Structure 1
Amino acid sequence: MRASDRAYAALRQDIVDWRLPPGTVLGEVEQSERLGVSRTPLREALSRLSADGLAAPHSGRGVVVTGISLDTVAELFELRQALECKSAALAAVRGNEPVFRSLAVRFRAAGELIGTAATDSDRGGYYSLVAELDAAIDDAAANTYLTQALGNVRLHLARVRRLAKDNPERLLETAGEHATIAAAVATGDPDLAGAAVSVHLHKSLEHLRSARIAAPEITTSKRRTTP
């Protein structure tokens, strides 16, 4: 792996996992030493992070980690609505029914993965199942550009999800919603599949809005998140 790729992957994961919170200055000297790369590949990594929207140049401070606001979360979900509903609709038409039937069954039994987990990091099994459903829908939709666009959206969603501190009750609800999505795709009905995704996204956004009380890092406007 190239040094710039290694630096990019490490910084991106640190930002998503909130080890580098909003407003953190990504100084070239400090990050080069921390990651064990020279400043040239680090600059390439910082440029890629800026293109992703995870970092941004700031006058007099170099590059900083971008913030999160309720406005930007709402915009993210507007895009997610368009992309994921379309992807699920295509998957319903083009997908393999047994694959999605099996996923629906596994989501209905996902309570054990959620209920026995003490922390967010312990819920890896459930999040892996969600990623498996995403991948199955991407494969079935068979649209490269759609998959690429969703990849960037999911990168930001992973960051927001960790901030929202999902609780077991909400996760159990999402398991049921994902089971409904998988079952709807399996029916081969694109309208039903899109509607199932739409309901899930609406509930997820409402949860994130209510989670702001416990997550003050989510501000009320984009202006306040600019470092």
Structure 2
Amino acid sequence: MRASERVYASLREEIVSWRLQPGAVLSEVEQAERLGVSRTPLREAFGRLVSDGLAVVGKGRTLVVSALSAPDLVHLFELREALEVQQARLAARRGTREVFGALAERFARAGGLVGEREAYYALVAELDAALDEAAASPYLLRALTTLRTHTARARRLSHDNPERLARAAAEHALIARAVAERDETLAAHATAVHLRTSLDTILTSLADDGRASDPAPTHTPGATR
């Protein structure tokens, strides 16, 4: 793996997992020292983060981790709904009954996974991959791949509420079942309901935490003002 790819993957994971929080300054000097690379691959990685929307140029032309405000989340979910509802329709039209029937059964039994967050999200990733394959739309997949970085980042704002995860498992089960039954209308509707409920949960969590507006720059390990 090239140095720039390694640095990009590391910084991307830290941003998505909130170890690098919104507003954290990405200093070339400190990040190069911390990650053990020269400025050239670091700048390439920074460029990709900016292109992904994970970093923006702040005051004094410093690079900072981008914010996720309430309006940002609304825009994100508007695009998710446009893309994922269409993907659900295509998957229902083209998918394999056995694959999605099995996924529906696993989500129906996923109550035990709610307490094991990573295992539950791995099951969600399996559904995403199955929908990607069934939809068989390369341009749609390319758009969704970029979007999922921001989706994973936004998910952390809901604090992985166990009650919400249990409801989400039921919603995913319904989506998978609709695709298995080749019901395009139900698959699209179930996906739209799931996304709107997820957005409401995240916005409520954001408001409860007092994080509904863009945060000021923060200091994190390996980052300076």
TM-score range, shorter chain: over 0.9
Q: Supply the distance in 2 between the matched residues of 1:102 and 1:57 (Cα, whole angstroms).
A: 46
Identical counterparts, % of pairs:
55
Superimposed CA distance per residue, residues 49-81 of structure 1 (whole angstroms, 9 cap, x where no aligned partner): 000000011241521001111101000000000
Q: Supply the distance in 2 between the matched residues of 1:213 and 1:31 (Cα, whole angstroms).
A: 32
Q: Deviation above 4 Å: which 4+ runs of structure 1?
A: none
Which consecutive residues of structure 1, in runs of 5 or more, have no partner in the other structure?
none
Match of 1:196 in 2: 190
Which consecutive residues of structure 2, in runs of 5 or more, have no partner in the other structure?
218-225
Match of 1:147 in 2: 141
Aligned residues: 217
3-state secondary structure, aligned to 1:166: coil
Match of 1:52 in 2: 52
Q: What is the CA RMSD across the aligned residues, in angstroms?
A: 1.3
Match of 1:3 in 2: 3
Paired residues for 1:215-226 under 5 Å: 215-219=209-213, 224=214
- Decide whether aligned partners of structure 1 residues 179 and 103 sit closer, same or farther in structure 2, where only a CA change above 3 A counts: same
Paired residues for 1:101-112 under 5 Å: 101-112=101-112
| The one of 159, 162, 179 aligned to 1:185 | 179
Match of 1:127 in 2: 121
CA contact (8 A) 1:88 1:141 kept: yes
CA contact (8 A) 1:66 1:225 kept: no
3-state secondary structure, aligned to 1:60: helix
Q: Supply the distance in 1 between the matched residues of 2:124 and 2:96 (Cα, whole angstroms).
A: 18
TM-score, length basis structure 1: 0.92
Q: Supply the distance in 2 between the matched residues of 1:78 and 1:157 (Cα, whole angstroms).
A: 12
Q: Supply the distance in 2 between the matched residues of 1:43 and 1:50 (Cα, whole angstroms).
A: 10
3-state secondary structure, aligned to 2:170: helix
Which deviates the most, 55-64 or 76-85? 55-64
Which deviates the most, 8-17 or 152-161? 152-161
CA contact (8 A) 1:28 1:39 kept: yes
